[in-house]
Amino acid sequence: MQIDGETKIVAIVGDPIAQAKSPELFNALFERCEANAVLIPLHVPPAELGAVLEGMRGIANLAGVVVTVPHKIAAAAYATDLSDSARQTGGVNCLRREVDGTWSGAMFDGSGFVKGLDACGHAVHNKSVLLVGTGGAGAGVAHALVDAGVASLDLFDTNTESLQRLEDALRSRRGTTLIRRSMPSAHAAHDLIVNATPCGMSAGDPLPIDLTGANPDAVVADLIMKPTQTRLLEDAEARGLTTHLGRHLLENSVETMATFLRLVP
């Protein structure tokens, strides 16, 4: 990869940022597509997010910003224009810098997650799902699962405000999916079990979901990308359950995000 005076810059902002897989995936895509662009990681604590985004508005060769934990909800407030998925979820995972310095925001977590499941042969239509974690990524996944026609969606989060906000948003859609509150415990009716919390990124984290009562045919998915094998996925494998890695979400959304940023066709 050659960086010169015409290189377009993309930043990924998060706290922490060491776990991010976006730099390797985006930069590999740019190289394959011969796009003169580079993605760099920026470690931005929550208290500094506003100042950073406001400052980056003035960088004319900045194509945009990829947004990761814990900024997806907060970053949406800085966008002048939001995609349908971003408005639905109340969060963004990508901000495109427009010529006038304003931000356009979009959310690709949900569509990338469902595409990743489909690519691995895990169809979700008419299935029962347990989703633990209702923040930015969790909300995106929840709306995409409803779009894909899941029969029921059981939700849990220790943050009751976040949980209530997602419940209200999903129920306002008046679809056929049954929306329920749940505990972070799998049971025999769940076909898909999803961890959308950061719990598992650190070695000492507890298990975010109790798999004791899981259906032996269930698929257990974790949105965490580093470590690749979280404690939850290790526990699932030890129980003989099918697992679905976090990287599949990003792998199935990186090209769409790069297109949104106007860096690849």
Q: Taking the CA atoms of the chain, what radius of gyration do you get in angstroms?
A: 18
Q: How far apart are the first and last CA of the chain?
A: 19
Number of other residues whose CB lies within 10 A of the CB of residue 20: 22
Beta bridge partners of 152: 128, 178
Distance, CA of 194 to CA of 201 (rounded, Å): 15
User: Tokens for 198?
Assistant: 């950061």
The number of residues making up the chain comes to 265
Q: 103-106 and 94-97: which strand pairing?
A: antiparallel
Q: Which amino acid is at 190?
A: H
**Closest by alpha carbon to 146, among 116, 122, 169?**
169
Q: ∠31-33-37 over CA atoms, to 5°?
A: 55
**The dihedral of CA 74, 56, 44, 265: what is its sign?**
positive
The one-character DSSP state at 77 is T
Q: Which residues are catalytic?
A: 72
